[in-house]
Amino acid sequence: MWEVFGSGAYTILLTAGKHLGKRLAVSLKEKGFESDRALVEAFASFVTEAGWGRIVAEKMTEKGLTIKVYNFALYREEISGRRDCALIKGIISGFFSALWKKVSCSEIRCVLDGDECCEFKVERGNV
Burial class (CB in 10 A: 0-12, 13-18, 19+), 16: middle
pLDDT digits 0-9 by tens, 36-72: 999 999 999 998 898 888 999 998 988 999 999 998 8
Expressed as residue numbers, the domain containing 99 is 2-124
CATH assignment at residue 37: 3.30.1380.20
Q: What are all long-range contacts of 114-120, with beta carbons under 8 Å and residues at least 24 apart?
A: 116/70, 117/68, 117/69, 117/70, 118/68, 118/69, 118/72, 118/85, 118/88, 119/66, 119/67, 119/68, 119/69, 120/66, 120/67, 120/68, 120/69, 120/88, 120/89, 120/92
pLDDT digits 0-9 by tens, 101-117: 999 999 999 887 888 99
Helix 36-49 crosses helix 8-30 at what angle (to 10 degrees)? Answer: 120
How many folded domains does the chain comprise? 1
Rounded Cα distance, 62 and 36, in Å: 10
- Whole-prediction pTM value? 0.86
Per-residue pLDDT, 77? 40
